[in-house]
Amino acid sequence: MRLYRHTADLPAEERGAVVALGNFDGVHRGHQTVIGTAQRLAAELGAPSAVVTFEPHPRSVFRPDDPPFRLTPFRVKTRHIEALGVDQLIVCHFDDGFRHKTAQAFVDEILVGGLGVRHVVCGYDFLFGHKRSGDPAFLLQAGRAQGFGVTEVGPVSDEQGGIYSSTRVRDALTAGRPREAAHVLGHPWEIEGRVVHGDQRGRTIGFPTANIELGEYLRPAFGVYAVRAGIDRAGETVWLPGVANLGARPTVDGTVARLEAHLFDVDLDLYDLHLRVQMIDFLRPEMKFPSFDALKDQIVQDAAAARAVLAAG
């Protein structure tokens, strides 16, 4: 997949793609349908397939004081999109100037002038342009006037009729239901980050942890999770089972939320490496224990519970 951070960087031979438009936070099953539709049309037309997305997420520009909400920061979103087999990823820098661009200017400057799009695919709820004045109907009218096709993808639902959406994923995670989130995403939700030094209390009781700051990630339900951690080895991701605490660590008077993952049956130096931690199941909420010894006893039980959950699949 070729990544372009500005339409001016796009070579002439890369113009004329079938593009999927959207924020694609989470790259859930609904997003995958939109992108897959663009790929299918691209194959039929003999054109490149592309995703056009926006960074930072527009919500962080419109509502900068909101709590962290991202399901997939840019690095992670890029990896998921690349795994789908897309030819191009075009990233529009979303800032205060971009937010004031009219819907017509977006079509003229980005889609037509910058990309020379052959066809555009978007979800039924895609809105764009100043004051969110652009929608699929606007795109369809613009396409007729300017010579590109438009396909609107309707809601995509599961067998029970639940619509796949980023909001549904966020609601599931904040309620401590990572398996439901994985169902909507089509893959386990994960937190990725560089392993940083902690206070090393876990090492003193036989449970060393890899500590990851949460950054712009959504804060899911605080508590203990059964996890799988992905480590890069020679270009391949090796997944290891483990147990993790996500929260502020009230027993040791912690104040900043972070992820602390203990990997079973290995002793690895992970400091400064990037680690992917998949949240498989929620075991219990975060709680404050009367003593560090009581916490240690609970960690032993948590580890046993996580092993059982992961062994059961």
pLDDT higher than threshold 80 for residue 200: no
Q: 57, 23 in Cβ contact below 8 A?
A: yes
CA dihedral 149, 153, 154, 160 (to 10 degrees): 160
Same domain for 210 and 292, yes or no, is yes
The confidence band for 253, taking pLDDT boundaries of 50, 70 and 90, is low
Is residue 179 situated within a structural domain?
Answer: no
Q: Within this chain, do residues 238 and 117 fall inside the same structural domain, yes or no?
A: no
More confident residue, 273 or 203: 273
Note the pLDDT of residue 197.
84
- Write down the mean pLDDT value for the chain: 94
28, containing H or E segment: none
Q: Is residue 175 part of a domain?
A: no
Which two structure tokens, joined as six digits, stand for 303? 């580890």
Question: Is residue 218 assigned to a domain?
Answer: yes
Question: Model pTM greater than 0.85?
Answer: yes
What tens digit of pLDDT does each residue of 143-165 get?
A: 999 999 999 999 999 999 999 99
Structural domain contains residue 241:
yes
Residue 172 lies in a domain: no
Q: Any idea what the CATH number is for the domain that residue 30 is in?
A: 3.40.50.620
Residue 63 has pLDDT above 70, yes or no: yes
Number of domains in the chain: 2
183 in a structural domain: no
Compute CA distances 127 → 102, 113, 134, 144, 270, whole Å: 12, 20, 5, 19, 42
Structure tokens at 223: 């508590």
Percent of the chain exceeding pLDDT 70 equals 96
- Domain housing 269: 188-312
Residues 83 and 14 reside in one and the same domain:
yes
Residue in this structure with the two tokens 């224990």, named with its chain if needed: 289
Q: Is residue 57 part of a domain?
A: yes
Q: How confident is the model at residue 201 (pLDDT cuts 50, 70, 90)?
A: low
Give the pLDDT confidence score for residue 292 in this predicted structure: 79
- Count CB-CB contacts under 10 A for residue 294: 12
pLDDT per position as a tens digit, 288-304: 888 878 888 999 999 99
Q: Looking at the predicted structure, is the pLDDT value of residue 287 above 80? A: yes
User: Do 66 and 113 reside in the same domain of the chain?
Assistant: yes
104 and 223 in a single domain? The answer is no
What is d(CA 306, CA 277) in angstroms, rounded to the nearest whole number?
A: 14
Q: Does residue 160 fall inside a structural domain?
A: no
